[in-house]
Structure 1
Amino acid sequence: MKKLFEPISGLLSVPYEPNEQTVILENPPRFTWMPAQLGDDRYVLQISDSADFASGRTETISPIPHNLYTPDHPLAPGRYYWRYALLEEAGEAAQTEWSRVRSFNVPEGLPETPLPARETRFADAKAGHPRLWLSPEGVAAFRERLKADPAFCGWDVFCEQSVRPWIERTPTAEPARYPGNKRVAKLWRQMYIDCQETLYAIRHLSVAGIILEDKTLIDRAKTWLLHVISWDTEGTTSRDYNDEAAFRIAGAIAWGYDWLYEHLSRQERADVRANLLRRTEQVAFHVIERSKIHQVPYDSHAVRSLSSVLVPASIALLHDEPKAKEWLDYTVEYYACLYSPWGGEDGGWAEGPLYWTSGMAYVIDALNLLRNYTSLDYFKRPFFAKAGDFPLYCCSPDTIRASFGDQSFLGEPASLKTGFNIRQFAGLTGNGLYQWYYERVKMSDTDADEKFYNYGWWDFRFDDMLYKHDYPEIQAVEPVDNAIQPVKWFRDIGWVAMHHRMDDPGEHIMVLAKSSKYGSISHSHGDQNGFLLHAYGEPLAIESGYYVAFGSTMHMNWRRQTRSTNTILVDGQGQYAGKDKVLCKEACGVVEEAYYRPGFGYARLNAKAAYKKNVPYLSRYIREIYFFNRTYAVIVDYVDLAQPGTVEWLFHTLYQMTLKGQSFRVNGVKAELEGRFVYNSSGDLALSQHDRFTDVDPAETEGLASQWHLHAATKPAASHRLVSLLVPMKKGERKYVSYFLDDQDHGVHIYFTNEQGITQKVEVQKAY
């Protein structure tokens, strides 16, 4: 046998799992390994409860087309061993030598989430149309319900607001090229909005026409569909020119082909199918051959294109095009094994709440389509059981600028689509907290359709209709203090949320902190050890900047950079947050501990690695956050350097601050915050503030309100210990937390007493 090439897994690559350290969370476990060759790799896998893979106790699976595998049956609890080999090309030896043997343990009581084998997984998928959402039998049943109730599932609203506008509308012209073929953000956005409108027209006219058996609507849907397939598949709506436009057009054609199938002539059907096949092929080629997300899973758009294109297009083309099954197999295997690359068992999403919203919106749609058509139910996986926790704790309905990562709704509360998504998980799990979130957001976000990040992405009437048809109504449960966790640690992504009175916006206090293993990759920022604070209906310590466009100077030079966040600079340098994905992933942090004890919440964060590229002489950066009595915060920073250096403690807010001595005050509209540096080992800090967005094109901020940025600078020293006190209060409230220091040999003990006479102590190691 030839020797097997077993490369070490890189920082961005899939790991060799399961292994001896892997905590198995679902049964069967998922198997991943590094590819043994660059292309056309096929494998044989063995799983055994015998260390020497004894005959009769070993399962052999072959061929496996990629470096990932999910078994088609659960394993009995116990210890197992596994190995794999590369299958060689025809004419050579059958396989290479076996890989290194790895072992794992399957505990009892895990959720069972096997994936049916390729040979059988689509055996029951019927060849009739439609098959996206409803089957022919489902259409007939829906029709019958409408006879008794014209408002069934919100059908009347859907027809009025989401179908009628497209009946007389002239089909959208094929988007023009960018001037000089150089992307312009405004034109890029308009292009994908035009394509989203095309999706609305084709999908909604087709669905309404077929269900109502209305020839006028069907003919109008055909007009739009045949118009769109006249567009150049290699032109402005191709994947490589504008992937967002391509995703929408492929989706539009998939829905049109599927729902209008019986109303297209043989030639029309062939023309539509050929167009859809090519557009799907473009996306599949990028995902599988170029981006290779089964090897390097951190490509946000490629992962989302599985949901927005490969699932609906492959389902629509199944039985008609052999490639459709290949693409659908790849997609369902990725979902079963590697999804989601942005979080894990806690339900977190490292890219932040906006990309949770968009990514989850599409995957919800895709997994519903798969479940309805193939009976594959991915919602049983542990990640989805807790996915609603992330927005609940990290993007609560009343909070503004209080979450990390790229956000197009920056400066506004949680979007209505975030609420729609979390309602899906209410329907799946019965969790009333999720339903409360949806109802609260729906109450406040009353102009959602007018915002580009909604109108260009989804139609709420269509989404509402599908949900009401497929899922039950859930009773809301308010997040009173005994219903939620006062400290929620998302271990999978390194975020910690601390809350008081989430149920009442006028009383709610939220402290959110982050130190993540994902670093600044993708839509994450250089904000390890950062914190945010929202209190009494107002953002006080904010995620600063504006969402102008991805790739703008605001995005690249401010928002992604440490200078925009509530953490520190060392000698003016922040964390790496450039364009090199490896360095972005290396610029990571870790939450070492987080918990709630009677009287306080606590988190300890370590961001040393995040500064390695820019501050190689940083030997330690630990931040401790105390949320005392769930009303005020104390932050302790430990910074050790191999050479003397200065530290700048950063704080960002919407309002010009009042600076006095070692204190700063935020005077908001609904709330205020008193900040005070109660201890600094190198002496008094030099406080200054400004309202500039450094290195940002002024044209990008024209007409936008100023924001204010505090820099509290130390004197040069090799070690720094900073303790800051943050006391939020309602507007006009006179409130303070008193404190005194007790110097105890190797430590400084600081005592804090609130207005109720409750005293808390923080011990700080001295700097020498």
Structure 2
Amino acid sequence: MATGRQGLGPAGGGCAGPGCRARRRLMPGRRMGAVMLAAAGIVVLATPGTAERFDPHQSPPNVPRNVQDWLTPEDRKELRERPEDSSVQLENPPVFGWKSGRDMYSFEVAIERDGEPYLTFVTTSNIFRPDSPLPPGAFNWRVRQLDQIGRPRRAGDNGGWSVPRTFNLREDSITLQVPDIWTAFGKAETARRPRALPPRPARLDEAKQAVFDVVLARYLKEAGSAPAFAGLRGSVAGAGEGIARSREVRARLRQMIRRMNDALAVSVLHPDEAVRDRAAGTAGVYLDGIVGFDAFGRTGHAGDDLLNIRIAKAVARAYDILYRRMDPERRGEVQRHVEFRTQAAFDFFLLNDRGNLGQFTLSSHGFQIATHVLAIAALMAGDSDRATLWFRDTYPLVSTIVTPWGGDDGGYSNGVNYGVWEFVNHVDSWDVIHNVVGFPYFETAWVRNFAEFLTYFAPPGVSQAGFGDGAEKLRPELWAEISRLYVERGRGEYATALLAAWRAHLDIAGAEADELSNALLWPRLFGVQAARSGAPRALGEIPDAAIFPDIGWAAVHSDLPDPERYSILFKSSQFGSFSHSHADQNSFMVMGHGRPLLIDSGYYDGYRSAHHDGWTRRTVAHNAITYDGGKGQPIDDPTAKGRLTDYWRCGGAVKLTGRAARAYGGDIVEADRTLLHLPGGLLLVHDRMAAGTPKRWEWNFHAAAPILAVGDRTARIRNGPAEASVELLVGPPVRLELAEGFPEPPNERLMGPAAQQYHGVFVTESASAVFETLALIRIGGGGGQPVTAREGEGGGIRFEAGRYSGSFAGGRTHLLVDGAPLAAANCAVPPRTLLAGGRLRFGRD
């Protein structure tokens, strides 16, 4: 198989995956410009100018065309096409990927630049990254399957090609230098040990020394106590499926691994050779005890897949660091233990049809495990023949997709805390891979932008960390620790301010307690400084609103630096309701003064518990629209998608629009929601639902404090100093129904006592096929300014709110200030459509 660099010159590139080769290089193309692709019937927009850095969080979201062909995923977990149609790619070279199916084929990929043929590849892989950057421009790409003798498998007028997808590359994209697979593997198998670590510095810097002081003190305190492996093995053998006991056993195993890691760190970093030797001996004792566990037993892959691979990686690291201190027989024993554990994980997630990540990327455990397998392969290369296989099949995947649960914007669709969990559990393996083969994870767009994601959804003062499972559980110490890791690595553009804010809010100083240092021990001690990004920005310099279009999340804060602020979160996500996401497209939340007001109700008492499936994940549990007694979007369905389709900030107003008809499915043909936030604490929520048959519609809202009804169309909520009211200004006749508690209560055995929650719903008095409403939410009292609204004479809804007036009609939003249309100069993030004279007309959402 031909692979690696193909000598295509500075403007082109080969592809980095196995079985991938550049077939020919064609015309280099013109400079950037608008291009009409007449044959395909599509328009590629001109690449945006580069006078200012492109920021996906402060630009209207890209909305792909409704392209449906054989590349379109059908199975719930299949790989989505990359680059997505109509996207702006933040990385260069970009990643190309598409669903593969269960059968193996060769693929031909054709890339055009500025409307002219540019480059083609033939590859046996369905995901790859060219190994050289592409020039800026407007691109389109398409792919077709080839049979055994190189003929297109699919007949048709278009020669078996998929519909072209378009994307733009800008001059300010992130240029990645990615080693091709066999260059990377060659580095791994010839690397000197300990290869997992960067060269030992002559002196630790202040931050690393603070962490090492914690580790050293802990090691010295525990050095005199013998590890109780016999008792632990008995507990493991007797551990059934009971949650409490299994958790206890896992915690004890993690403590043994932590003690081994402490000793390993001291054996590397302590300035006294005698102390280093004693620490290495202690680490060896723990290593022997851990290797003594049956790799195929309760701690193996079948018993606990994540525990198994973490043990395998910990043992592989010890093998790497203690290599010269072990005789060949002992090395062989440790190597076999690593192989047994790693092979089971590799077989399940990379080879078999059920778990193959190349086909089915949306796996909550799979990508984390694949990343660890690649790190282990890098550590064992040259000694274990199996490492070659592991590396061959994981490197093309893990070096192209950092996480399948988000995109370049840094968002994480499964929720803030699961994103944090993934970051914490990946970063150590990222460092190993970087140190061994040179792949620059901290240069990738997702890793760079994840700190900005935390800045908007986990700043001091939040009462709920975004959407999805576990959002009600706040982890500020860990969020601060991650921020500090970014700062220490020169990625402090957003993390510096977030760290300072959490330090002030929590009075954090110095190294944290054991639990925090444990989670990020190796990255904190041995992390390599990245190339510095932008200068640190104070929270006051960061816009109060932002979108994360790849996951369909948005945040609007009244004053981001102020923990007593009010915040609005909105979601309409193309990731659907799968895994740890909920059936909550086009839902929103409101919080203020550190207190929840309008909430995602329910608790994460356990994955797929009676309460979790019966309430927390369902549309009716969110501030969203249902019908006919709580019917809404399906749970656990990646195809139940929404889409964030519009965002602008003009004249102090912020507009967000989501579309979610696909999420509801059935005969729901329209499900559009627009949030228009106006200065002074006013939030207008415009909904338009349409169905093929009449329905009794329900406008749901939920609170963490009692809801007070004021007639049939208004409700008030007060939670300490935070307050909000909900009023249905325009819409059909409704009745307001209030309730508290849950149809399926949370399991207190799993999570402890749960605070009461309260529920309200405006229910239409009669069924209708169309449901259009305008609700007013006054946040923090809403300034007392009058707000009126009425149905427009030609349809739609008109409103007046102090200085602001406008309408929602025909899928368009119009806004005036003091009776005059907004000028372009009033817009920090302008809408897509500009009219002559600098006036703005807010085009179709």
Specify which of 170, 178, 192 is matched with residue 115 of structure 1: 178
Name the aligned partner's letter for residue 132 of structure 2. H
Which deviates more, 419-428 or 336-345? 419-428
Shift of 1:377: 1.3
Find out whether 1:465 has 2:525 as its counterpart: yes
Name the aligned partner's letter for residue 394 of structure 2. T
Within-5 A mapping of 1:169-208: 170-172=227-229, 173-174=232-233, 176=235, 181=240, 183-208=241-266
Which deviates more, 700-709 or 543-552? 700-709
Asked if the contact 2:597–2:717 (Cα under 8 Å) also holds between the matched residues in 1, the reply is: yes
State the partner residue of 1:299.
363
Name the aligned partner's letter for residue 396 of structure 2. E
Shift of 1:45: 5.2
Asked if the contact 1:680–1:723 (Cα under 8 Å) also holds between the matched residues in 2, the reply is: yes
Asked if the contact 1:202–1:255 (Cα under 8 Å) also holds between the matched residues in 2, the reply is: no
Q: 1:194 to 1:440 in 2, by over 3 A?
A: farther
Whole-angstrom CA distance in 1 between matches of 2:78 and 2:619: 26
Whole-angstrom CA distance in 2 between matches of 1:132 and 1:156: 21
Shift of 1:546: 2.4
Within-5 A mapping of 1:228-267: 228-267=290-329
Asked if the contact 1:30–1:337 (Cα under 8 Å) also holds between the matched residues in 2, the reply is: yes
Find out whether 1:595 has 2:656 as its counterpart: no
Shift of 1:627: 0.9
Whole-angstrom CA distance in 1 between matches of 2:224 and 2:384: 32
Shift of 1:357: 0.4
Shift of 1:622: 1.6
State the partner residue of 2:280.
218
1:337 aligns to what SS in structure 2? coil
Q: 1:101 to 1:764 in 2, by over 3 A?
A: closer
Asked if the contact 1:402–1:534 (Cα under 8 Å) also holds between the matched residues in 2, the reply is: no
1:351 aligns to what SS in structure 2? coil
Find out whether 1:666 has 2:717 as its counterpart: yes
Shift of 1:436: 1.4
Q: 1:179 to 1:714 in 2, by over 3 A?
A: farther
Q: 1:302 to 1:460 in 2, by over 3 A?
A: closer
Shift of 1:366: 2.1
Name the aligned partner's letter for residue 656 of structure 2. A
Q: 1:701 to 1:193 in 2, by over 3 A?
A: closer
Structure 1 alignment gaps of length 5 or more: none
State the partner residue of 2:658.
605
Name the aligned partner's letter for residue 628 of structure 1. L
Asked if the contact 1:199–1:248 (Cα under 8 Å) also holds between the matched residues in 2, the reply is: no
Q: 1:468 to 1:655 in 2, by over 3 A?
A: farther
Whole-angstrom CA distance in 2 between matches of 1:743 and 1:6: 44
Shift of 1:121: 2.1
Name the aligned partner's letter for residue 343 of structure 2. E
Q: 1:525 to 1:178 in 2, by over 3 A?
A: farther
Find out whether 1:638 has 2:688 as its counterpart: yes
Shift of 1:271: 0.6
Shift of 1:575: 3.3
Asked if the contact 1:748–1:765 (Cα under 8 Å) also holds between the matched residues in 2, the reply is: yes
Find out whether 1:504 has 2:562 as its counterpart: yes
State the partner residue of 1:514.
571
Shift of 1:287: 1.5
Q: 1:475 to 1:76 in 2, by over 3 A?
A: closer
Shift of 1:256: 1.6
Q: 1:25 to 1:240 in 2, by over 3 A?
A: same
State the partner residue of 1:738.
786
Which deviates more, 652-661 or 106-115? 106-115
Find out whether 1:160 has 2:217 as its counterpart: yes
Q: 1:466 to 1:540 in 2, by over 3 A?
A: farther
Asked if the contact 1:207–1:259 (Cα under 8 Å) also holds between the matched residues in 2, the reply is: no
Name the aligned partner's letter for residue 401 of structure 1. Q
Find out whether 1:721 has 2:721 as its counterpart: no
% identical equivalent positions: 20
Whole-angstrom CA distance in 2 between matches of 1:671 and 1:150: 39
1:678 aligns to what SS in structure 2? strand
Name the aligned partner's letter for residue 222 of structure 1. G
State the partner residue of 1:337.
400
Find out whether 1:71 has 2:130 as its counterpart: yes
State the partner residue of 2:599.
542
Q: 1:519 to 1:178 in 2, by over 3 A?
A: farther
Per-residue CA distance 1:641-689 (angstroms, 9 max, x = gap)? 33332222221221112222122221212312222222222x1422322
Q: 1:428 to 1:42 in 2, by over 3 A?
A: farther
Shift of 1:298: 0.2
TM-score relative to the length of structure 1: 0.84
Q: 1:284 to 1:525 in 2, by over 3 A?
A: same
Name the aligned partner's letter for residue 395 of structure 1. A
State the partner residue of 2:79.
14
Per-residue CA distance 1:166-209 (angstroms, 9 max, x = gap)? 6525245137469895x333334334322322221122211212
Which deviates more, 420-429 or 329-338? 420-429
2:539 aligns to what SS in structure 1? coil
Q: 1:46 to 1:487 in 2, by over 3 A?
A: closer
Asked if the contact 2:197–2:435 (Cα under 8 Å) also holds between the matched residues in 1, the reply is: yes
Aligned length: 721
Name the aligned partner's letter for residue 364 of structure 1. V
Asked if the contact 1:42–1:86 (Cα under 8 Å) also holds between the matched residues in 2, the reply is: yes
Which deviates more, 255-264 or 570-579? 570-579
Per-residue CA distance 1:24-64 (angstroms, 9 max, x = gap)? 543333333443753xx47475667799x99xx97766xx5
Find out whether 1:30 has 2:115 as its counterpart: no
Asked if the contact 2:709–2:736 (Cα under 8 Å) also holds between the matched residues in 1, the reply is: no
Whole-angstrom CA distance in 1 between matches of 2:151 and 2:533: 54
Q: 1:421 to 1:76 in 2, by over 3 A?
A: same
Whole-angstrom CA distance in 1 between matches of 2:517 and 2:210: 21
Name the aligned partner's letter for residue 417 of structure 1. L
Whole-angstrom CA distance in 2 between matches of 1:354 and 1:543: 15
Specify which of 729, 735, 739 is matched with residue 689 of structure 1: 739
Asked if the contact 2:492–2:533 (Cα under 8 Å) also holds between the matched residues in 1, the reply is: no
Specify which of 726, 737, 760 is matched with residue 675 of structure 1: 726
Shift of 1:261: 1.5
Find out whether 1:278 has 2:340 as its counterpart: yes
Find out whether 1:712 has 2:772 as its counterpart: no
Asked if the contact 1:163–1:201 (Cα under 8 Å) also holds between the matched residues in 2, the reply is: no
1:745 aligns to what SS in structure 2? coil
Asked if the contact 2:87–2:168 (Cα under 8 Å) also holds between the matched residues in 1, the reply is: no
Asked if the contact 1:161–1:461 (Cα under 8 Å) also holds between the matched residues in 2, the reply is: no
Shift of 1:320: 0.5
Asked if the contact 1:254–1:312 (Cα under 8 Å) also holds between the matched residues in 2, the reply is: no
Asked if the contact 1:537–1:670 (Cα under 8 Å) also holds between the matched residues in 2, the reply is: no
State the partner residue of 2:466.
403
Which deviates more, 319-328 or 67-76? 67-76
Whole-angstrom CA distance in 2 between matches of 1:484 and 1:149: 29
Shift of 1:602: 1.0
2:775 aligns to what SS in structure 1? strand
1:120 aligns to what SS in structure 2? helix
Q: 1:157 to 1:468 in 2, by over 3 A?
A: farther
2:186 aligns to what SS in structure 1? coil
Shift of 1:501: 0.8
Asked if the contact 2:144–2:152 (Cα under 8 Å) also holds between the matched residues in 1, the reply is: no
Q: 1:163 to 1:628 in 2, by over 3 A?
A: farther
Whole-angstrom CA distance in 2 between matches of 1:229 and 1:550: 31
Asked if the contact 1:564–1:652 (Cα under 8 Å) also holds between the matched residues in 2, the reply is: yes
Name the aligned partner's letter for residue 274 of structure 1. R
Asked if the contact 1:536–1:671 (Cα under 8 Å) also holds between the matched residues in 2, the reply is: yes
Shift of 1:600: 1.1
Per-residue CA distance 1:79-112 (angstroms, 9 max, x = gap)? 6877676685xxxx68887984566677462433
Which deviates more, 643-652 or 220-229? 643-652
Which deviates more, 247-256 or 29-38? 29-38
Whole-angstrom CA distance in 1 between matches of 2:609 and 2:644: 31
Find out whether 1:479 has 2:544 as its counterpart: no
Asked if the contact 2:698–2:764 (Cα under 8 Å) also holds between the matched residues in 1, the reply is: yes
